[in-house]
A and B are shown apart, each in its own frame.
Chain A
Amino acid sequence: MAQDLTQALAERVRAAYLAGTPLAIVGGGSKPWLGRPVVGEVLDVSDHRGIVHYEPTELVLTARAGTPLAEIEAALAERNQCLAFEPPHFATPLPRGEGPGERVKRAATLGGTVGCNLSGPARPYAGACRDFVLGVRIVNGKGEVLRFGGEVMKNVAGYDLARLMAGAQGTLGVLLEVSLKVLPRPAAELTLALEMDAATAVARFNAWAGQPLPITATCHDGERAHVRLAGAEAAVRAARQKLGGEVLAEGAAFWSSVREQRHPFFARPGSLWRLSLPPAAPVDSSLSQCIDWGGAQRWVWSDAPLWEAARHAGGHATHWRAGRGEVFQPLTPALLALHRRLKQAFDPKGILNPGRLYPEL
Chain B
Amino acid sequence: MSASGTTPAVHARRNELVRGLLDILPADSVLYEPEDLRPYECDGLSAYRQLPMVVALPSTVDEVQAVLRLCHRLEVPVVARGAGTGLSGGALPLTDGLLLSLAKLKSILAIDPVARTARVEPGVRNLAISEAARSYGLYYAPDPSSQIACTIGGNVAENAGGVHCLKYGLTVHNVLKLEVVTVEGERLTLGSDALDAPGYDLLALMTGSEGLLAVVVEVTVRLLPIPERAQVLLAAFDDVTKAGAAVGDILAAGILPAGLEMMDNPAIRAAEAFVHAGYPVEAAAILLVELDGSNDEVSEQVMRVRELLLASGATEVRTAQDEAERQRLWKGRKAAFPAVGRLAPDYYCMDGTIPRRRLPEVLARIERLSREYGLPVVNVFHAGDGNLHPLILYDVNQPGALERTEALGRRILDLCVEVGGTITGEHGVGVEKLAGMCTQFTPAELTQMHAVKAAFDAQGLLNPGKAVPSLHRCAEFGAMHVHGGALPFSDLPRF
**A interface residues, Cβ below 8 angstroms from B:** 55-60, 79-81, 117, 123-124, 127-128, 130-131, 140, 144-148, 150-161, 163-164, 166-168, 172, 183-185, 187, 206-207, 209-214, 231-235, 237-239, 276-280, 293, 296-297, 314-316, 318, 328-331, 334-335, 338-339, 341-342, 344-346, 357-358
Contacts and interface: CB of A to CB of B under 8 A. Distances in A.
A158 B441 contact: yes
Nearest to B422: A155
A234 B184 CA distance: 55
Contact of A152 (B226, B422, B449): B422
26 contacts: A131-B172, A145-B444, A147-B442, A152-B387, A153-B166, A153-B387, A154-B422, A156-B159, A157-B423, A158-B445, A158-B449, A159-B213, A163-B172, A163-B204, A166-B201, A166-B204, A172-B200, A185-B254, A209-B225, A210-B114, A232-B293, A234-B299, A237-B296, A293-B195, A328-B199, A338-B455
A232 B301 contact: yes
B204 A276 contact: no
Contact of A315 (B138, B194, B441, B468): B194
Nearest to A79: B252
Interface in B239-264: 247-249, 251-256
B427 interface: yes
A145 B441 CA distance: 12
B419 to A, nearest CB: 10
Nearest to A310: B194
B137 interface: yes
Nearest to A172: B200
Contacts of A172: 200
Given A57-B252, A210-B225, A345 B202 contact: no
Contact of A212 (B227, B247, B452): B227
Contact of B209 (A148, A159, A314, A334): A159
Contacts of B46: none
A234 B297 contact: yes
Interface in B354-373: 354-357
Contacts of B252: 56-57, 79
Interface residues of B, number: 96
Contacts of A211: 137, 225
Among A213, A277, A315, residue most surrounded by chain B Cβ atoms (within 10 Å):
A315
A128 to B, nearest CB: 7
B207 interface: yes
B116 interface: yes
A118 to B, nearest CB: 11
Among B172, B355, B382, B427, residue most surrounded by chain A Cβ atoms (within 10 Å):
B355
A124 B188 contact: no
Given A152-B353, A338-B202, A158 B429 contact: yes
Contacts of B199: 328, 331, 335, 339, 357-358
Among A117, A155, A207, A279, residue most surrounded by chain B Cβ atoms (within 10 Å):
A155
A231 B353 contact: no
Contacts of B201: 117, 130, 163-164, 166-168
A204 to B, nearest CB: 11
B115 interface: yes
Contacts of A231: 293, 297
Contacts of A151: 355, 420
B183 to A, nearest CB: 12
Nearest to A358: B199
A280 B196 contact: no
Interface in B401-444: 420-429, 433, 436-437, 440-442, 444
Contacts of A207: 114
Contact of B255 (A157, A184, A213, A239): A184
Nearest to B291: A232
Contacts of B219: none
Interface in B208-224: 208-209, 213
Contacts of A168: 200-201
A57 B297 contact: no
Given A154-B353, A212-B225, A339-B200, A296 B194 contact: yes
A334 B186 contact: yes
A128 B222 CA distance: 14
Contacts of B382: 154
B8 interface: no
Instruction: Give the top 3 A-B pairs by smallest Cβ distance, nearest first.
Output: A234-B296, A57-B248, A184-B254
A56 B436 CA distance: 29
B107 interface: no
Contacts of B34: none
A146 B300 contact: no
B294 interface: yes
Interface string B87-128: 000000000000000000000000011111000000000000
Contact of A150 (B193, B356, B420, B467): B420
B425 A156 contact: yes
Nearest to A165: B201
B364 to A, nearest CB: 19
Given A232-B300, A235-B294, A212 B423 contact: no
A195 B38 CA distance: 65
Contacts of B178: none
Given A212-B293, A232-B297, A277 B194 contact: yes
A232 to B, nearest CB: 4
A127 B421 contact: no
B198 A328 contact: yes
A57 B209 contact: no
B264 to A, nearest CB: 19
B205 A80 contact: no
B293 A235 contact: yes
A210 B138 contact: yes
A344 B455 contact: yes
A94 to B, nearest CB: 23
B194 A276 contact: yes
B355 A152 contact: yes
A157 B184 CA distance: 26
B161 interface: yes
A232 B187 CA distance: 45
A346 B448 contact: yes
B289 interface: no
A145 B252 CA distance: 33
B179 interface: no
B473 to A, nearest CB: 14
B143 interface: no
A177 B204 CA distance: 19
